[in-house]
Amino acid sequence: MPTHASNDLRHGINKEGALVHVSQVERGLACECVCPSCNERLIAKKGKYKEHHFAHVAGDPCQYAAETALHLAAKDILARRKEIILPAVQVKFYNRTDVITPEKRYQLDSVKLEYRGEKNIVPDVLAHVGDSKLFIEIRVTHAVDHRKQRRIRDLDVSTLEIDLSDAPRDFRPEDLERLVVEAGDHKQWVYNAAEAQRRKRVLSKATIRPRINRGFAIHVDGCPVRARVWQGKPYANVIDDCTGCRYALDFTDESVICNGDHVSEQEQNRLSQENPDLPYWVIPVPSQEPVDSIEAKGVLQNIEENGPERVLQNIEGNEAERILTKLDEKVARYWKDRLRDPKEVERLSNEYPLKRRAIAAYIQST
């Protein structure tokens, strides 16, 4: 997003109460406009040498005029266009991210500005997508505060924040329209009802496994994927096993929150039979990924999380090459090429800054 370069006021409120650009009005006092923030009279300065802009007739500039104009313009765009690209809805756990819906363009069936019919909250925009409510907050100077976030959660209404804090104050209408309607990292969910519901459902089925100190190791008993077995009883090492397991949803000082109990026995047996020499945490659960990349991404994730040395430590008697040869050539080529692509390595390094050394070490070892 471009950063703002000027606080010159390019927008005013005309006599009909509409926000207008200085290019849309007559020169001088004939513009018949007032300031979006303080409501004082404006003069349209449209000379030959300086960029056209509004100024206050009284001469004193208004501190918040440009920010208020930006805020109003963004809301007007939503009311007029009645469409928006919403970011993906994801549930993020410790070792995995479940995508509920991808980034997508939606038509807004209704749009109300500064709607005051909701209890204890006045959203910048209240929209409806079908039967679902959507609050949209326009951030120009201040983000949604914690108090408002709590009220939003209590109402259980999905709320999007569009961050325009770095947008030019002397914005061009077409540029702002792209920022408001189209996709970008400046759009974030403050709260999403579908994400909250999915998280609650997953956590309600999870098992809280107490951490047990055994000498220098920390274990949890009853590991559902049988990471380790002692005298017929499954357990897991919290550091070596749980931190790399996709079923570990979260960690506390006293426990591991695990949903591995809900992996079917049939699925566990299939994975074990297909990969008898690989530890369970290298074998990812099948998903909607293309089949030829499932194993590759599992190995890649393990390398990113633990580094090649940790992989070897967890496979007694095996060498790195034995892991690699368990993958077919097509899959091996997939992740080898991926790691050797400078742009992909840079992306991974930025995404996992603490694993940069592990990624570099792995490239050298293959």
Task: List, for residues 76-127, the tens digit of each pLDDT value.
Answer: 999 999 999 999 999 988 888 888 889 999 999 999 988 887 777 899 999 9
Q: Which residue has the tokens 């923030």?
A: 37
Give 301's DSSP letter.
H
* Distance in Å from the first CA to the final CA of the chain: 39
Q: Is 160 exposed, middle or buried (0-12, 13-18, 19+ CB in 10 A)?
A: buried
Cβ atoms within 10 A of the Cβ of 299, count? 22
Neighbours of 304 (CB within 10 A): 20
3-state secondary structure of 58: coil
31/54 Cα distance (integer angstroms) = 10
Distance of CA 51 to the CA centre of its chain: 38
The residue-averaged pLDDT of 238-264 equals 86
Residue with the bigger pLDDT between 286 and 17: it is 17
* Confidence grade of residue 240 (pLDDT, cut at 50, 70, 90): confident
pLDDT of 11 strictly over 50: yes
Q: What is the DSSP letter of 79?
A: H
Q: State how far the Cα of 59 lies from the Cα of 224, in Å rounded to an integer.
A: 73
Helix, strand, coil tally for the chain in percent (to 5) = 35, 25, 40
In tens, the pLDDT along 134-176 reads 999 999 988 899 999 999 999 999 999 999 998 888 788 888 9
Sign of CA pseudo-dihedral 4, 6, 7, 10: negative
3 state SS of 44: strand
> Virtual CA dihedral for 263, 264, 265, 271, nearest 10 degrees?
-70
